[in-house]
Amino acid sequence: MTRLVLLGPPGAGKGTQAALLAARLQVPAISTGDIFRANVAGRTELGLTVERYLDAGEYVPDSVTNAMVRDRLAQPDAADGFILDGYPRTTEQVRELDGMLAEAGAQLEHVLEITADTDELVRRLVARGRAQGRSDDTEDVIRNRQRVYAEQTAPLVQVYAERGLLRSVDGLGEVAEVTARLVAALEHVVDLREVQLPRTAQDAVSG
C-alpha cells in the first residue's frame, strides 16, 4: 500500500520518476498535468475550461482541479495506493486531499520532493519545449511557472515536513540515479517504522 505525493518545481522530473516508481510499486501514477493536457487535446468541456491557464503557466482554479482529482481517486485502480504527480500544489489542495483521504479512511504515507536549481530547470524545460512542442514550455511561460511554484507550491514542503512525511531528493544526475535515490528515501521511511514497531508492541504489552 503506497499513497505518495511527488513535489518539485516544473522541470524537476516528477513525471518521469512518477512513471518509474509506479511500475516498481504497482500503483497508478496520476498526473494532473497529463490529465489536463489530454482534455485539452480531446477538446472536452474540462479541456476548454483549463486551456488558457495551462498556456499562461497559471494554476487551474482549485475548484476545478479538486473535483477532477476527486473523480480520479475514486477509480478502483487507486483504491490500494497511488502516486500523485502535480497535486496538491496549493494549501487549499492539501486540505482537499486530506479530506478525500479521510473520507476513504486513508492517509498519505510519503511525500517525496525532487529538487534542482532554477538554471537547470529552465534549461531542461526549454529543451523539452523544442523536442515535444508543449505549449507551456516557452521561456516566458516557463519563468511564470517557476514564479507560481515558488509562491504557491514551495510552502507545501514545510507543511509536509512538519507532518514528518517529507523526504527531499536531489534531482540532478541520470534518471536511474534519481530513481534509486527516491527508492532509498522510501526504504528509509520503512526502516524507521520497523525500528519503532517492536517498541510499540512492547509498550502495548507492558501497558
Could you tell me which stretch among 39-47, 50-58, 71-79, 180-188 binds ligand ADP (CB under 6 A)?
50-58
Residue 131, amino acid? A
- Alpha-carbon span 19 to 55, nearest angstrom: 24
Grid cell 504497482 in the structure block, residue: 26
Task: Verify binding: residue 10, ligand ADP, rule CB under 6 A.
Answer: yes
- Alpha-carbon span 136 to 17, nearest angstrom: 20
Reported as type and span, the H/E element at residue 45 is helix 45-56
CB of 136 to ligand ADP, least distance (A): 6
In this chain, which of 145, 160, 181, 182 binds ligand ADP, going by CB under 6 A?
A: 145
CB of 184 to ligand ADP, least distance (A): 23
Task: Verify binding: residue 82, ligand ADP, rule CB under 6 A.
Answer: no
Question: Hey, which residues does 124 pair with through a beta bridge?
Answer: none
Could you tell me which stretch among 56-64, 113-121, 164-172, 197-205 binds ligand ADP (CB under 6 A)?
56-64
Given the residues 70, 134, 143, 167, the one annotated as active site: 134
- Alpha-carbon span 204 to 207, nearest angstrom: 5
Per-residue CA distances from 35 to 54, 69, 206 (Å) = 12, 10, 51
37 labelled as ligand-binding?
Answer: yes
DSSP secondary structure letter of residue 74? T
Give the residue numbers of the binding site for AMP: 32, 37, 58-60, 86-89, 93, 134, 145
Residues of the shown chain interacting with ligand ADP in the complex, contacts defined by CB under 6 A: 10, 32-33, 36, 53-54, 57-60, 65, 86-87, 89, 93, 136, 145
